């Protein structure tokens, strides 16, 4: 009979090996957004929207490995506000009649990654506290006789499936970046992704060793980019950059000025990642869709496809620009003075029929015919 493991020994079980960030393929925008949030955590985190099985959680866990000594903390759906923000240590209070703060998940995530799966299903009160700490880098607790502040600078990564509900617009606006993933439709790319995952599952150590050099290069580049943002006045921007950011936000019809500020911070982080000395308008263009996709008003003009930007990792395959829907690509119908133009009707007139000529039928009224016949001096005909 085999001996059962000693569960009371206090030994922590070994964590399963992580899929390396450098080996993620087919999702370049996802990798770019995660790296930007890691370079500047004050961007407010990353919201990843997409169906199941699109590497959302895999990429979030792999990102923490690129950051030096970074914890990876998961916020469960059933967590309470005290579990997240911290509260009074009841044990200390009852034993010694002393008030002591018991840290929560925000304190544990300091310096690392806080991952929230299905963030759209969290209560709004928890999301508010989460976003406040992610944007400010400080967690403030004022409850149960406790007044406490502590640093909480982390990379917030939230995922959601739009089929299961949406976040309120006020909460969406406070999330810095957003990536909307889609299922991979290219057959060759799907095969490459599946093949890489099968190789990892078969021998994780050998797979990680194969990507160790690329993984180390990414970690070093991320460390350098974070350091380049630290000095005051580093990576300045010109009026042309401010003008480019403002024009994009006005075209997207966003509310307020948070989008402008996040867009400039994201462009600065991207310039730091590329090793450039200053922020340029092309940096703004490179990150604009990540900042505006979840803030753009319905009906606002869609951006024109941009040339493929530089990818964070050489292993990542290029992505195809999103195609326009039939309603967006169809030219508007031109109307004529009588409303019967030759152009096809718009979707608002779906089911409408073009006008057709209709013959007129003269209706004879007996009294009127009798009156007309008397004037003419002829007897009136009787209708059966």
List the one residue out of 108, 114, 103 whose CA is nearest residue 38. Answer: 114
d(CA 212, CA 21): 10
Per-residue burial over 141-166, b = 16 or more CB atoms within 10 Å of its CB, e = otherwise? beeeebebebebbbbbbbbbbeeeee
DSSP designation for 83: H
- Asked if residue 35 lies in contact with residue 273, where contact means CB atoms within 8 angstroms, the answer is yes
Residues in Cβ contact with 321 at an 8 Å cutoff, skipping those fewer than 6 apart = 305, 306
* Residues present in the chain in total: 384
- Which ranges of the chain does DSSP label H, i.e. alpha helix? 28-39, 56-66, 81-85, 90-96, 105-108, 124-136, 169-174, 187-202, 204-210, 212-228, 239-252, 258-274, 281-292, 326-329, 366-376
**Residue 115 phi, psi (nearest 5):** -105, 130
Please name every residue paired with 155 in a beta bridge, in sequence order, or none if there are none: 113
Residues in Cβ contact with 48 at an 8 Å cutoff, skipping those fewer than 6 apart = 30, 33, 56, 59, 60, 157, 158, 159, 160, 178, 179, 181
Residues taking part in catalysis: 258
d(CA 118, CA 212): 31
Hey, what are 378's tokens? 């002829």
Hey, what are 372's tokens? 């007309």
As a whole number of Å, the CA-based R_g of the chain is 31
d(CA 132, CA 206): 41
d(CA 49, CA 162): 7
Hey, what are 152's tokens? 């909480």
> For the chain, what is the total number of helices (H) and then of strands (E)?
15, 9
């Amino acid at each position: 009979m085999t001996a059962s493991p000693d569960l009371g020994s206090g030994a922590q079980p070994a964590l399963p090996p992580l899929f390396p960030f450098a080996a993620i393929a087919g999702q370049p925008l996802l990798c770019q957004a995660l790296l930007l949030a890691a370079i500047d955590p004050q961007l407010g985190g990353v919201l990843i929207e997409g169906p199941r099985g699109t590497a959302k959680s895999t990429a979030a866990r792999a990102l923490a490995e690129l950051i030096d000594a970074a914890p990876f903390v998961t916020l469960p759906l059933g967590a309470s506000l005290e579990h997240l923000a911290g509260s009074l240590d009841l044990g200390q209070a009852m034993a010694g009649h002393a008030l002591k703060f018991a840290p929560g998940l925000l304190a544990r995530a300091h310096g690392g990654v806080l991952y929230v799966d299905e963030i759209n299903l969290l209560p709004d009160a928890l999301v508010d506290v989460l976003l406040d700490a992610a944007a400010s880098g400080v967690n403030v607790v004022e409850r149960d006789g406790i007044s406490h502040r502590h640093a909480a600078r982390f990379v917030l990564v939230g995922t959601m499936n739009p089929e299961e509900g949406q976040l309120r617009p006020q909460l969406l606006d406070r999330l810095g970046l957003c990536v909307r993933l889609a299922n991979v439709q290219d057959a060759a790319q799907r095969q490459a992704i599946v093949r890489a995952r099968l190789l990892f599952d078969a021998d994780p150590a050998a797979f990680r060793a194969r990507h160790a050099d690329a993984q180390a290069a990414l970690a070093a580049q991320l460390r350098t980019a974070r350091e380049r943002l630290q000095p005051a006045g580093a990576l300045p921007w010109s009026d042309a950059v401010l003008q480019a950011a403002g024009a994009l936000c006005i075209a997207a019809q966003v509310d307020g000025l948070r989008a402008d500020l996040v867009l400039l911070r994201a462009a600065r982080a991207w310039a730091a990642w590329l090793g450039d000395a200053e922020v340029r308008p092309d940096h703004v263009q490179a990150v604009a869709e990540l900042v505006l996709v979840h803030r753009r008003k319905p009906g606002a003009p869609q951006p024109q496809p941009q040339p493929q930007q530089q990818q964070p990792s050489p292993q990542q395959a290029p992505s195809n620009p999103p195609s326009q829907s039939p309603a967006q690509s169809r030219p508007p119908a031109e109307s004529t003075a009588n409303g019967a133009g030759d152009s096809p009707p718009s979707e608002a007139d779906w089911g409408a029929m073009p006008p057709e000529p209709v013959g007129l039928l003269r209706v004879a009224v007996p009294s009127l015919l009798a009156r007309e016949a008397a004037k003419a001096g002829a007897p009136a005909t009787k209708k059966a």
